[in-house]
């Protein structure tokens, strides 16, 4: 959070540093008073009565109310300014990404029909609206470097905006406890320069890249004829289920299983063979496939650029 | 030392060895119990309106008809008027008219029991023909709010029995009757809560 | 006046043996039981904490699987809040409040016993979830829909809902008892401006409890009806709303923070004057501050829901109250440090714990104000920053005063002073361990570590801090363990305490340690806010009749005094030992297990026995005349 990379988070971080300075001042006052009391006590004789402390009441009133009050009002007003900036609406022309929370992964849909999971691409230097829905329990969308978090709540469509100042890969994670794999509901916001983003978005909206190698073709057949296709969609094939992530351009992602594993043939093959070993409780069942079949499916999926 | 008092040990000082009203511990206990129970009802009623106004335009939802007032317009006066004999009963105890008090509390009990009986044998069966607690949020709220109130009436009836038995056994005198006071407080509370439950469940959907 | 003591002994003493062991209504015995039982659950909660910290000490560990981890972190919260901190502070309240106000017992002794037994039964009920391997696992906040029957079909969450309803009975009964005791049982002359500050803390806590627990009870009841009987309150498809749960939960959940902290502030305000050798500066400020905190505590719940997407106007309103509540809390702290600054500090163990507490509480308070700033809250809520914050205010903020209370009132309970050397050792280890354990959580939170994750990935810079946290928590445990051993050992071998080992100002120091069954031979008449300092006769341990004491040795009675100025009004007959509170709470345990298992027979048996216990409890015996 401290490492802010976007305007929404910058405001929050300034607020934080200000509050931290104020907090340190208060803490120092408390330490000084206690230390003062301890040091003074060494010089006080047990036999003599303690001096009157008629300053006590005014001290409490002045420090506790007269000084604290205005400071609090100041911080309150400042926080509302940051809030207003963060909550301001995005321009009509802004890109709007529809993010849906699932146990335990993130679906992202774009206005041009592109659909991906767990890796949300945005263009740099502009506000992107994130519309938030959930299909099951409450989740919370949080990219610490880019902005505050917003909950995904059944029956309530929330939205927020994020903006990344420069290209990069910003880690995000579900922030509301959502069950077994709350810890592995990770996603990345990938900010590209607008040109690169448009290229990505166009490609992502296309149907699948037809497999060319024999093994990949066999992989496609296996994918479509077994349990895989009951949950996943690959646009351009009969597979159009929406339970699991859309895999049309899986090869373009760096991670799988919501940031749990790397998207390489080894991890992908492990994942397909036994998802429960990698991510206990995940809703994906083990595929009843032989290792050669799995290899074929992996070859097919890793060709989906 | 006079009768009904005890020496405190301070020469010449004696204090009554009983207490009523705000001098008694149990009266305060009852007041605080009512506070916490009132909060419970208040929050449930607040939940009712929260759920009603959170989105739906049509209330009751799902094609359920607005609540009919025929049965409840008989039940309500019976319950509310039952506070009168209970009040008179307490008054009679304070004045030492124990026979009158017995009849008053018996009447109050019968009225409360009648209310509960009508709710159980007429109002609920009629309502269940239209919807159940499982139908939707409206059904759940209807039955949980009226049911929670009914449970309180039931507890009040048990308390009344306890008071009446002790009244017959001569436990109370014009001075010593804090249990009667506490029961009376509770009964009035249950009646007042019904005004809010009635307003929420039976009247508010018509507006 | 030996004969007064003898007569009182005859009236108030409990017989040795099982019947009076179970049937005791002596607030001192019940208070100690609360404390010992709470300490037991502290050890349980501490073990849960250790497992959590072991699992998180390094990235990607598989020491606990997510299923077990979720159960343990949920139970850690439930155990620490409902079974350790609240009852431990109730334990001090039970033991100390009647002594401080100069009464013979709590206002409702049998209800008091009942409250303890219910606490024990609820503790057994919730802990038994581990035995069947199905402990609650949806968090102590158990947000719907995660906690509904669809997403958590097992009995895990039923243990939670029924368990919290069960324990609410105990807390509400205890709260009512405290209020009436403090309102009506103060010794003659203890007018409202002479009530000891510890009693004010307990009073503020109790008033808060009376209005806060119904929200929890209602929420849990609705959830259980939805889970078991198919009602709809939170289910979107049937017109419900999951946000309603959050409102109800936090209408309880925020005040409960003050329910925990207010008695702890009370302990602090008791200890400081004793070891600063001067009266609390700004008594009225402290009282009004605590009452204001209790009141405003009901107006800040939405700051737990700042990222839910509520309208900006409601956020701003709650943001204001959350800022404003800082002022009364700050006033209380300022009064303490002004007293410390102008006092002559005696550095004994209870005071060390309190000084440590003040530093910890101020840190927690300062990070707490930050959450009032909406955007900052939205950035840090549900991160480890929050975990750090509430461990500073609720764990450190409650535990350090509880430990101070053990060293301060332990001698009053056992008659023997705890070992001072090991006390100081224990304090320093705990203080260092606490800060090493919990301060880095601020940092990992700001780095983006979310709460309630059973593991995390390497390479994020979280590993080192998490390892330090784990080490800190283990250091802390060692320190706490030293005190527990010290307490146990000193109770047998410690130095004799005498009436007043520390030179305290309040009435409990004006009787023997441990006090007799009847607390005071003569109920004293109070002429000062600091009776034991200002009324020399009390330092002797008794205020004789000549000085205004009242023996009340003709019957098993205590004094009822007027609310504001504590004039004697009546003598109230107090109940004797009774087995019915125990029988009723046992029956309720059976009843709740019946509800949990769904066996209606068990529900019926429990209900019948409960009804029989109530009848037995209320059945007029001996004196049939109303008192």
Residue C281 pLDDT greater than 90, yes or no:
yes
Of A11, A34, A158, the CB nearest to C358: A34
Across C179-185, average pLDDT: 98
Tell the residue number behind the tokens 């504001």, with chain if given. Answer: C564
Q: Write out the H or E segment, with its range, that includes residue B161.
A: helix B137-168
Of C334, C375, C381, the CB nearest to A79: C375
Assess if residue A48 is contained within a domain.
no
Q: Is B176 on the interface with C (CB under 8 A)?
A: yes
Minimal Cα distance from A136: which residue of C? Answer: C145
Assess if residue A64 is contained within a domain.
yes
Of A50, A136, A173, the CB nearest to C342: A50
- Taking the C-alpha atoms of residue C375 and residue A148, their distance in angstroms, rounded to an integer, is 7
CA distances A233 to A249, A250, B95, C331, Å, are 11, 11, 84, 61
Strand order in the sheet with A168-173: A119-123, A186-192, A168-173
With a CB-CB cutoff of 8 Å, which residues 485-544 of chain C face chain B?
522
Assess if residue A50 is contained within a domain.
no
- The rounded mean pLDDT for chain C is 95
Same domain, A146 and A123: yes
Ramachandran angles phi, psi of C32, nearest 5°: -65, -40
> Do the Cβ atoms of C384 and C434 come closer than 8 Å?
no
Q: Write out the H or E segment, with its range, that includes residue C117.
A: helix C109-131
Tell the residue number behind the tokens 């004969």, with chain if given. Answer: C3
- The rounded mean pLDDT for chain B is 94
C-alpha of A230 from chain center: 28
Closest listed residue to residue C166, CA positions, set C207, C228, C208, C216: C216
Reported as a pLDDT band with limits 50, 70 and 90, residue C547 is confident
Same domain, A79 and A159: no
Length of chain C: 627
Token pair of B156 as six digits: 């009040």
What is the pLDDT, as a whole number, of residue C114? 97
Q: Is C180 on the interface with B (CB under 8 A)?
A: yes
What is the pLDDT, as a whole number, of residue A14? 94
Q: Is C8 on the interface with B (CB under 8 A)?
A: no
Which residues on C lie below 8 Å from B205 (Cβ)?
Answer: none
Which residues on C lie below 8 Å from B35 (Cβ)?
Answer: 210-211
Residue C1 pLDDT greater than 70, yes or no:
no
Q: Is C370 on the interface with A (CB under 8 A)?
A: yes
Assess if residue A80 is contained within a domain.
yes
Apex CA C259: angle with CA C256 and CA C262, to 5°? 140
Reported as a pLDDT band with limits 50, 70 and 90, residue B2 is low
With a CB-CB cutoff of 8 Å, which residues 78-107 of chain C face chain B?
107
Same domain, A100 and A157: yes
Ramachandran angles phi, psi of B122, nearest 5°: -120, -55
**Residue C619 C-alpha, separation from nearest chain B C-alpha, in angstroms:** 9
What is the pLDDT, as a whole number, of residue A46? 85
Torsion of CA A105, A111, A112, A117, to 10 degrees: -10
- Taking the C-alpha atoms of residue C404 and residue A224, their distance in angstroms, rounded to an integer, is 68
Same domain, A30 and A101: no
Structural domain span for residue A294: 214-301
Q: Is the N-terminal amide bond of A104 cis, ω within 30° of 0?
A: yes
Beta-sheet pairing, A105-109 with A115-117: antiparallel
Q: Kindly give the interhelix angle for A291-301 and A214-225, rounded to the nearest 10 degrees.
A: 100
Residue B70 CB-density burial (10 A; 0-12 exposed, 13-18 middle, 19+ buried) = exposed
- Probe site for chain A from C142, C337, C393, C461 (most A CB atoms < 10 A): C337
Q: List chains touching C (3+ CB pairs under 8 A).
A: A, B
Token pair of C19 as six digits: 């019947």
Domain closes at, from A149, A169, A203: A203
Which residues on B lie below 8 Å from C570 (Cβ)?
Answer: 15-19, 23-24
Closest listed residue to residue C105, CA positions, set C194, C37, C178, C206: C178
Token pair of C510 as six digits: 């004006």
Across C50-75, average pLDDT: 96
- Taking the C-alpha atoms of residue B203 and residue B72, their distance in angstroms, rounded to an integer, is 11
Mean pLDDT by runs of 10 across the 305 residues of chain A is: 87 95 96 96 86 91 94 96 84 92 96 96 96 96 95 94 95 96 97 97 94 94 94 95 95 95 96 94 92 96 94
Of C367, C375, C383, the CB nearest to A15: C375
Torsion of CA A15, A17, A23, A24, to 10 degrees: -170
- Taking the C-alpha atoms of residue A179 and residue C531, their distance in angstroms, rounded to an integer, is 56
Q: For residue C226, how many C-alpha atoms fall within 13 Å in the half-sphere facing its CB?
A: 32
- Taking the C-alpha atoms of residue A79 and residue A96, their distance in angstroms, rounded to an integer, is 26
C232 and B176 within 8 Å at the Cβ level: the answer is: no
Q: For residue B99, how many C-alpha atoms fall within 13 Å in the half-sphere facing its CB?
A: 0
Q: DSSP per residue over C231-273, as a string? A: --SS-GGGT--HHHHHHHHHHHHTHHHHHHHHHHHHHHHHHHH
3-state secondary structure of C183: helix
Beta-sheet pairing, A168-173 with A128-134: unpaired
Token pair of B181 as six digits: 């006071």
Residue C426 CB-density burial (10 A; 0-12 exposed, 13-18 middle, 19+ buried) = buried
Of B9, B50, B138, the CB nearest to C522: B9
Q: Kindly give the interhelix angle for A291-301 and A265-273, rounded to the nearest 10 degrees.
A: 130
pTM of the entire predicted model: 0.96
Token pair of C462 as six digits: 């979280």
Which residues on B lie below 8 Å from C565 (Cβ)?
Answer: none
Residue C1 CB-density burial (10 A; 0-12 exposed, 13-18 middle, 19+ buried) = middle
**Residue C310 C-alpha, separation from nearest chain B C-alpha, in angstroms:** 12
Q: Is the N-terminal amide bond of C244 cis, ω within 30° of 0?
A: no
| Beta-ladder partners of C416 | C496
Domain closes at, from A173, A203, A233: A203
- Probe site for chain C from B3, B11, B28 (most C CB atoms < 10 A): B28
Assess if residue A209 is contained within a domain.
no
With a CB-CB cutoff of 8 Å, which residues 23-82 of chain C face chain A?
65-67, 70
pLDDT digits (tens, 9 = 90+) for B53-96: 986 778 999 899 999 999 999 999 999 999 999 999 999 999 99
Residue B3 pLDDT greater than 70, yes or no:
no
CB neighbour list of residue C391: distance below 8 Å, 6 or more residues apart = C364, C438, C441
Residue B12 pLDDT greater than 90, yes or no:
no
DSSP annotation of B123: I
Domain closes at, from A34, A69, A88: A88
3-state secondary structure chain A: CCCCCCHHHHHHHHHHHHHHHHHHHHHHHHHHHHHHHHHHHHCCCCCCCCCCCCCHHHHHHHHHHHHHHHHHHHHHHHHHHHHHHHHCCCCCCCCEEEEEEECCEEEEECCCCCEEECEEEEECCCCEEEEEEECCCCEEECCCCCCCCEEEECCECEEEEECCCCCEEEEEECCCCCCCCHHHCEEEEEEECHHHHHHHHHHHHCCCCCCCCHHHHHHHHHHHHCCHHHHCECECECCECCCCCCCCCHHHCCEECCCCEECCHHHHHHHHHCHHHHCCCCCCCCCCCCHHHHHHHHHHHCCCC
- Probe site for chain C from B1, B2, B9 (most C CB atoms < 10 A): B9
The total domain count for chain A is 3
- Taking the C-alpha atoms of residue C561 and residue C554, their distance in angstroms, rounded to an integer, is 18
Same domain, A102 and A195: yes
Same domain, A84 and A102: no
Of C309, C344, C447, the CB nearest to A44: C344
Across C545-560, average pLDDT: 90
Residue C302 pLDDT greater than 50, yes or no:
yes
C347 and A33 within 8 Å at the Cβ level: the answer is: no
- Taking the C-alpha atoms of residue C294 and residue C278, their distance in angstroms, rounded to an integer, is 27
**Residue B18 C-alpha, separation from nearest chain C C-alpha, in angstroms:** 4
What is the pLDDT, as a whole number, of residue B1? 43
Residue C622 pLDDT greater than 80, yes or no:
no
CA distances C572 to B2, B58, C27, C188, C569, Å, are 16, 56, 16, 15, 10
What is the pLDDT, as a whole number, of residue A86? 82
Q: What is the ipTM, given to two decimal places?
A: 0.96
Residue C623 pLDDT greater than 90, yes or no:
no
Ramachandran angles phi, psi of A255, nearest 5°: -130, 160
Between chain B and chain C, the number of residue pairs with CB atoms below 8 A apart is: 177
Of C335, C362, C460, the CB nearest to A27: C362
Q: Is C277 on the interface with A (CB under 8 A)?
A: yes
CB neighbour list of residue B62: distance below 8 Å, 6 or more residues apart = B131, B135, B136, B138, C239
Of B9, B36, B170, the CB nearest to C172: B36
Assess if residue A248 is contained within a domain.
yes
pLDDT digits (tens, 9 = 90+) for C499-539: 999 999 999 999 999 999 999 999 999 999 999 999 999 98
What is the pLDDT, as a whole number, of residue C624? 62
Same domain, A84 and A99: no
> Do the Cβ atoms of A267 and A277 come closer than 8 Å?
no
Of C278, C309, C457, the CB nearest to A153: C309
> Do the Cβ atoms of B138 and B204 come closer than 8 Å?
no
Tell the residue number behind the tokens 């001290």, with chain if given. Answer: A59
**Residue-range domains of chain B with CATH:** 24-54+69-206 (1.20.120.80)
Token pair of C85 as six digits: 């901190």
**Residue A50 C-alpha, separation from nearest chain C C-alpha, in angstroms:** 7
The CATH number that applies at residue A160 is: 2.60.40.420
Across C599-625, average pLDDT: 88
Task: Quickly list H helices, C419-462.
Answer: 420-447
Between chain A and chain C, the number of residue pairs with CB atoms below 8 A apart is: 247
Least confident span in A76-85, B26-35, B152-161 = A76-85
Q: Kindly give the interhelix angle for A68-87 and C312-324, rounded to the nearest 10 degrees.
A: 160
Token pair of A233 as six digits: 């969609």
Same domain, A18 and A111: no
Same domain, A177 and A114: yes
CB neighbour list of residue C20: distance below 8 Å, 6 or more residues apart = C14, C577
Ramachandran angles phi, psi of C507, nearest 5°: -60, -25
Q: Is C230 on the interface with B (CB under 8 A)?
A: yes
Which residues on A lie below 8 Å from C282 (Cβ)?
Answer: 56-57, 60
What is the pLDDT, as a whole number, of residue A90? 79
Residue C606 pLDDT greater than 70, yes or no:
yes
Assess if residue A1 is contained within a domain.
no
> Do the Cβ atoms of A197 and A122 come closer than 8 Å?
yes
3-state secondary structure of B171: coil
Tell the residue number behind the tokens 């039970």, with chain if given. Answer: C94
Assess if residue A232 is contained within a domain.
yes
């Amino acid at each position: 959070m401290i490492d802010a990379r976007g305007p929404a988070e910058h405001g929050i971080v300034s607020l934080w540093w200000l509050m931290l300075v104020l907090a340190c001042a208060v803490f120092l006052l408390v330490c000084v008073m206690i230390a003062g009391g301890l040091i003074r006590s060494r010089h006080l004789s047990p036999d003599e009565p303690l001096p009157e402390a008629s300053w006590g009441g005014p001290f409490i009133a002045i420090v506790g109310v007269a000084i604290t009050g205005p400071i609090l009002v100041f911080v309150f007003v400042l926080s509302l300014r940051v809030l207003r900036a963060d909550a301001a609406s995005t321009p009509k022309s802004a890109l709007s990404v529809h993010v849906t929370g699932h146990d335990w992964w993130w679906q992202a849909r774009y206005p041009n029909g592109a659909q991906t999971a767990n890796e949300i691409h945005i263009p740099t230097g502009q506000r992107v609206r994130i519309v938030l829905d959930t299909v099951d329990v409450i989740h919370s969308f949080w990219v610490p470097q880019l902005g505050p978090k917003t909950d995904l709540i059944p029956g309530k469509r929330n939205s927020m905006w994020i903006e990344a100042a420069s290209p990069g890969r910003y880690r995000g994670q579900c922030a509301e406890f959502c069950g077994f794999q709350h810890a592995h509901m990770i996603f990345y916001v990938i900010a590209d320069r607008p040109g690169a983003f448009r290229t990505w978005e166009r490609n992502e909206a296309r149907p699948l890249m037809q497999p060319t190698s024999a093994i990949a073709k066999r992989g496609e057949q296996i994918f479509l004829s077994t349990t895989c296709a009951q949950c996943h969609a690959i646009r351009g094939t009969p597979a159009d289920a929406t339970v699991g992530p859309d895999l049309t351009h899986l090869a373009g992602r760096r991670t799988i299983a919501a940031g749990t594993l790397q998207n390489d043939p080894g991890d992908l093959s492990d994942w397909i063979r036994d998802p429960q070993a990698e991510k206990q409780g995940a809703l994906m069942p083990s595929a009843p496939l032989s290792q050669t079949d799995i290899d074929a499916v992996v070859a097919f999926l890793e060709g989906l650029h | 030392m006079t009768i009904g008092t005890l020496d405190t040990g301070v020469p010449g000082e004696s204090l009554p060895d009983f207490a009523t009203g705000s001098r008694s511990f149990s009266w305060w206990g009852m007041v605080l119990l009512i506070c916490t129970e009132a909060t419970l009802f208040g929050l449930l009623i607040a939940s009712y309106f929260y759920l009603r106004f959170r989105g739906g335009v049509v209330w009751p939802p799902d094609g359920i008809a607005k609540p009919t007032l025929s049965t409840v317009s008989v039940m309500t006066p019976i319950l509310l008027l039952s506070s009168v004999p209970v009040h008179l009963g307490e008054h009679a105890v304070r004045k030492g008219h124990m026979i009158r008090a017995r009849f008053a509390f018996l009447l109050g009990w019968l009225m409360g029991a009648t209310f509960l009986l009508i709710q159980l044998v007429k109002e609920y069966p009629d309502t269940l023909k239209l919807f159940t607690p499982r139908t939707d949020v409206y059904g759940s709220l209807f039955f949980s709010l009226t049911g929670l109130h009914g449970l309180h009436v039931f507890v009040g009836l048990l308390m009344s029995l306890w008071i009446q038995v002790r009244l017959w056994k001569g436990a109370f005198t014009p001075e010593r009757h804090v249990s009667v006071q506490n029961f009376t407080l509770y009964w009035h509370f249950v009646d007042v809560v019904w005004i809010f439950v009635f307003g929420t469940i039976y009247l508010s959907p018509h507006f | 006046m030996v004969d007064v003591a003898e007569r009182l002994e005859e009236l108030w003493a409990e017989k040795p043996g099982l019947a009076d062991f179970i049937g005791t209504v002596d607030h001192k015995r019940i208070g100690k039981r609360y404390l010992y039982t709470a300490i037991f659950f502290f050890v349980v909660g501490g073990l849960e904490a250790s497992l959590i910290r072991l699992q998180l000490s390094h990235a990607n560990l598989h020491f606990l699987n997510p299923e077990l981890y979720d159960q343990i972190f949920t139970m850690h919260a439930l155990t620490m809040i409902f079974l350790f901190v609240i009852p431990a502070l109730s334990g001090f309240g039970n033991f100390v409040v009647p002594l401080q106000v100069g009464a013979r017992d709590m206002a409702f002794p049998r209800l008091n016993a009942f409250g303890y037994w219910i606490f024990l039964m609820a503790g057994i009920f919730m802990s038994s979830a581990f035995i069947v391997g199905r402990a609650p696992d949806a968090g102590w906040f158990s947000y719907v829909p995660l906690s509904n029957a669809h997403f958590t079909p097992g009995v895990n969450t039923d243990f939670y809902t029924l368990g919290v309803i069960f324990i609410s009975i105990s807390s509400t009964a205890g709260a009512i008892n405290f209020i009436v005791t403090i309102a009506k049982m103060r010794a003659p002359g203890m007018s409202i401006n002479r009530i000891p500050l510890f009693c004010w803390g307990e009073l503020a806590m109790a008033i808060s409890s009376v209005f806060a627990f119904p929200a929890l009870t209602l929420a849990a009841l609705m959830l259980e009806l939805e889970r078991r009987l198919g009602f709809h309150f939170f289910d979107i498809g049937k017109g419900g709303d999951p946000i309603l749960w959050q409102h109800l939960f936090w209408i309880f959940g925020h005040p409960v923070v003050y329910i925990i902290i207010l008695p702890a502030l009370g302990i602090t305000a008791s200890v400081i004057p004793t070891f600063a050798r001067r009266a609390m500066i700004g008594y009225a400020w402290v009282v009004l501050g605590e009452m204001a905190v209790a009141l405003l505590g009901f107006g800040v719940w939405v700051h737990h829901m700042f990222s839910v997407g509520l309208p900006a106007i409601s956020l701003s309103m709650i943001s204001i109250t959350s800022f404003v509540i800082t002022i009364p809390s700050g006033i209380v702290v300022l009064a303490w440090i002004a007293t410390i600054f102008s006092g002559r500090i005696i550095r004994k163990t209870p005071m060390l714990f309190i000084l440590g507490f003040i530093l910890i509480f101020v840190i927690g308070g300062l990070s707490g104000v930050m959450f009032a700033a909406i955007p900052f809250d939205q950035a840090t809520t549900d991160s480890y920053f929050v975990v750090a914050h509430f461990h500073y205010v609720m764990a450190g903020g409650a535990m350090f005063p509880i430990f101070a209370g053990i060293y301060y009132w332990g001698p009053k309970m056992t008659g023997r002073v705890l070992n001072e050397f090991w006390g100081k050792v224990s304090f320093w280890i705990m203080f260092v361990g606490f800060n090493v354990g919990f301060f880095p959580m601020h940092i990992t939170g700001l780095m983006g570590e979310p709460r309630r994750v059973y593991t995390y990935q390497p390479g994020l810079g979280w590993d080192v801090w998490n390892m330090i946290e784990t080490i800190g928590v283990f250091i802390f445990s060692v320190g706490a363990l030293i005190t527990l051993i010290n307490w146990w050992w000193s109770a047998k071998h410690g130095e004799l305490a005498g009436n007043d080992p520390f030179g305290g100002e309040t009435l409990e120091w004006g009787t023997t340690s441990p006090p007799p069954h009847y607390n005071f031979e003569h109920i004293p008449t109070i002429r000062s806010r600091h009776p034991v300092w200002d009324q020399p006769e009390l330092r002797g341990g008794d205020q004789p009749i000549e000085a205004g004491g009242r023996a009340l040795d003709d019957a098993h009675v205590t004094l009822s005094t007027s609310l504001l100025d504590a004039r004697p009004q009546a003598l109230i007959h107090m109940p004797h030992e009774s087995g019915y509170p125990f029988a009723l709470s046992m029956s309720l345990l059976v009843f709740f297990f019946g509800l949990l298992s769904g066996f209606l027979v068990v529900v019926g048996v429990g209900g019948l026995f409960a009804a029989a216990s109530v009848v037995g409890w209320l059945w007029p015996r001996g004196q049939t005349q109303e008192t």
